[in-house]
Structures are given as structure tokens and as C-alpha cells.
Amino acid sequence: MNNPAQLLGDGVLSEGLRIGSVQLDGCAVLAPMSGVTDVGLRRIARRFGASLVVSEMVASDDYVRGHEVSRLRAEGAGLDVHVVQIAGREAGWMGEAARVAQETGASIVDINMGCPAKRVTGGYAGSALMRAPDHALRLIEATVKGTSLPVTLKMRLGWDLDCLNAPQIARRAQDAGVQLITIHGRTRNQFYKGSADWRAIRAVVEATSLPVVANGDCGSLADARAMLAQSGAAGVMIGRAAMGRPWLVGEIASGLAERTWIEPSPDQKRDAALEHLDALMTNMGVKTGLRHARKHLSAYAEHAGAPDALRLRLVTTDDPGQATALLREAFVHLSGASLPAEAA
């Protein structure tokens, strides 16, 4: 094992992750989540200290054809380090998607071999590729060949408990030119049930000299330190726990590096939530953006301690002005928050 970010003990990392030519300032990454990690959320998470943020997964063929939904998912405006995650089952499309990502400003291209959704695996993409490692390798090689950018790979432990082949795939991916590997500590057949097996990730760490990032069930700095200790990984990836609190990734990054973490004030959290809502409505159009925002609005309000009745109104309104006012009101319930003068 020769991971660039070495564990010093007690869950402290010596330096940020390095991905090819890209040096990061920490070791905590916001996970790519379909329908969740829009560019507004990614900008906010990065501003609050996330070491790296990754786009929603885009289908390689749709992305190359210029489909509007794929373009929005892969948007990276305002990000200093922009990662586009691509998925597919045909080498030609994967190589072309890597090329398009580079031409449109990406810094890193990530390959999705971890998505467990039936609509993805049914098309022999995502985690289904772990059942066909030779074909998966052809896709990896085509992606690496399609760009001069660093290429990373995200996958699971295997398809099921009888097929825990992530270490073997990791070795082959390294030989093909991949620069970093992320492992979700579940099999595809587990979906998101049960608990992620952080110890099982160690087999991948020991199989490759690449930096390995551990993913699955990280909701706090204590979780992150336990993940690193059990897996031997060089970094952690935070997913669902960051919904409604995108600053969490920065908090974990700071803690792992033993940097001083200043908790955002209630007003800063409120303003970030309002910024996120505005970005969704601006990028997607008011109607679609507001509908897309509901899962985020509910999470922001929950973490702000807003009452259930307010949360229900927030996620059912079709009026953007009312949604904005209710979101402001939700944060008044967070200790120390104020209601802006224009909303008072």
C-alpha cells in the first residue's frame, strides 16, 4: 500500500488526496448522488470546505449527444475542481464522454460502476459491470484513452457476497491508468440496506497502490475516523448525511486534517439554503427547480429544527415566493438565527 494521504493515528490524515496531477486540500469528498448533487449544492459544499465534490451520474451516450438533462447534471460553473461522473456500457460512448467532459471544463472524470438502481444495472451499466470485469476493463481503458485528465473509478465491494471482486478489478483498473478508486462498503444486492462494511474495503486498499476512498454510512467526524481506521483508506466520501447540511463534508475534512473548524452561523446556513433553492430554480426553471428542490427543502428544515407543519407547507407549495419565505422561517427555529428584514 502506498496511499498518498497517510494516517497518522486517531483518524488524522497527513495531507490531502492527490489524483494524478490534481492536489486536493483535504480527504473528505461529497458523493455523487443522482437527483441530489446538483451544481448549486456542490458549490455550497465546496465553499464550506469539502475537499472534492462530484457531479450527478450522467449517461455517457446522452451526455455526448448534448441532452439538456445531462448537461445540467454535469454542470460545473463556479467550481475550482470539477468532477464529471459518467456511466455506460459501450466503450465508444465512454471514451467520447470523457473527451466532452474535458472540453467543457472538467478537471477529473469519474467512472460509475457502483450504482445499484435497476434502471442502470438492467442496461448492464453501473454495478452490473462488476459481474463482467473484462468488459468493465474495456470501458475503463476507453475512458482513460479518451482524455488527458485524471480518471477515477467508483464501485462497490462486488455484485453480491459470492462475488466480492473489487480488489481484482482495482488492480486491473490501476494498470489501465485509473488514478483513484472509491469503494462503497456494500454489494450491489444490498442496495442501501444494512450497514456498510468498512473493514471489507481494506482488501481493496491492500490490492492497489492507488489512493482509495471509503464510502457508505459516513455521517460524522467520528464515523470518518472509524472508517479510516477499519479500512486503511486514504479518504472518506459522504453521501446522504450531507443533505440539508452540505457544510458537513467540510467539517469532516477539517477534523481529519486537525484544522480549526468554525461552525457556520445559523444565518450562514439559512443563506446557503436560500442560495441552493435559487440555483435550482435558475438552472432548471422555476416550476421544475422548485419541484426538484423539495427533498432538499425538507432536509434543510429538518436540520434547522422546523416544526412538521412548516416542513409540510414547504414541500407542498408551488409558489416560489412562498417557498422562499417558508425556508427563511424554518431557520428561525435554529438557535441564533434571525429573520431578514425583508422577510420580517
Mapping DSSP onto H, E and C, the string for the chain reads CCCCCCEEECCEECCCCEECCEECCCCEEECCCCCCCCHHHHHHHHHCCCCEEEEEEEEHHHHHHCCHHHHHHCCCCCCCCCEEEEECCCHHHHHHHHHHHHHCCCCEEEEEECCCCHHHHCCCCHHHHHHCHHHHHHHHHHHHHCCCCCEEEEEECCCCCCCCCHHHHHHHHHHHCCCEEEEECCCHHHCCCCCCCCHHHHHHHHHCCCCEEEECCCCCHHHHHHHHHHHCCCEEEECHHHCCCCCHHHHHHHHHCCCCCCCCCHHHHHHHHHHHHHHHHHHHCHHHHHHHHHHHHHHHHHHHCCCHHHHHHHHHCCCHHHHHHHHHHHHHCCCCCCCCHHHC
∠ Cα 87 88 90 (to 5°): 150
pLDDT tens-digit map of 233-264: 999 999 999 999 999 999 999 999 999 999 99
With CA atoms as reference, report the closest residue to 252 among 222, 211, 296.
222
The answer to whether residue 344 sits within a structural domain is no
Across the range 62-77, mean pLDDT stands at: 96
Per this entry, what is the length of the chain?
Answer: 344
Q: Are 109 and 98 in contact (CB under 8 A)?
A: yes
Residue (of 235, 216, 162, 181) closest to 5 by Cα position: 235
> Grid coordinates in use for 270?
439559512
Q: What's the CA gap between 153 and 24, in Å, rounded?
A: 17
With cell 471509503, the residue in question is 214
Which residue has better confidence, 255 or 10?
Answer: 255
- Of 256, 284, 302, the residue at which a domain comes to its end is 256
Same domain, 31 and 155: yes
Whether residues 34 and 140 share a domain: the answer is: yes
Instruction: Provide the pLDDT for residue 339.
Output: 57
- pLDDT class of 10 with cuts at 50, 70, 90: very low
Q: Which domain does 213 fall in, by range?
A: 7-256
Q: What is the mean pLDDT of residues 87-114?
A: 97
Task: State how beta strands 52-59 and 22-23 pair.
Answer: unpaired
Is 217 within the bounds of a domain?
yes
Q: Do 51 and 69 lie in a common domain? A: yes
Q: Tell me whether residue 196 is in a domain.
A: yes
pLDDT, average across residues 40-54: 98
> Please, what is the end-to-end C-alpha distance for the chain in angstroms?
57
Same domain as 270, residue 247: no
Check whether residue 14 and residue 59 sit in a common domain: yes
pTM confidence score: 0.93
Amino acid (one-letter) located at 290: L
277 located within any domain: yes
Q: What is the mean pLDDT of the chain?
A: 92
Flag whether 290 is in a domain: yes
pLDDT in the model for residue 2: 44
Average pLDDT, integer, range 117-126: 76
C-alpha cell at 330: 424554518
| Digit-coded pLDDT (tens) for 182-240 | 999 999 988 889 899 999 999 999 999 999 999 999 999 999 999 999 999 999 999 99
Residue 344 has pLDDT above 50, yes or no: no
* Residue 116 confidence (pLDDT): 82
Query: What is the mean pLDDT of the segment spanning 12-40?
Result: 92
The residue type of 326 is: L
The CATH number given to whatever domain includes residue 57 is 3.20.20.70
Specify whether 176 is located in the same domain as 300.
no
pLDDT bucket at 115, cuts 50 / 70 / 90? confident
Q: CA 311 to CA 20: how far, in whole Å?
A: 44
- 261 within domain boundaries: no
If asked whether residues 169 and 243 sit together in one domain, one would say: yes
The verdict on 63 and 97 lying in the same domain is yes
The residues near 296 (Cβ < 8 Å, ≥ 6 apart) are 36, 41, 243, 244, 273, 276, 277, 280
161: confidence class by pLDDT, cuts 50, 70, 90 = confident
Same domain, 275 and 230: no
Please give the Cα distance from 344 to 325 (Å, whole number): 10
* Burial class of residue 89 in the structure, from the number of CB atoms within 10 Å of its CB (0-12 exposed, 13-18 middle, 19+ buried): buried
**Whether 67 and 162 share a structural domain:** yes
Q: Residue 160: which pLDDT band, with cuts at 50, 70 and 90?
A: confident
Residue numbers annotated as active site: 115
Q: Do 49 and 180 belong together in one domain?
A: yes
Which has the closest alpha carbon to 114: 177, 54, 65, 27? 54
Q: Does the residue 226 lie in any domain? A: yes
Query: Could you say which of 236, 256, 276 is where a domain stops?
Result: 256
Mean pLDDT confidence for 126-155 = 96
pLDDT of residue 337: 60
The pLDDT score that the predictor gives to residue 330 is 96
* Chosen domain end from 256, 283, 318: 256
Whether residues 218 and 197 share a domain: the answer is yes
Which tops the pLDDT comparison, 302 or 8? 302
Domain count, the chain: 2
Is 46 within the bounds of a domain? yes
pLDDT at residue 14 greater than cutoff 90: no
φ, ψ at 85 (rounded to 5°): -100, 125
> Is the distance from CB of 110 to CB of 54 less than 8 angstroms?
yes
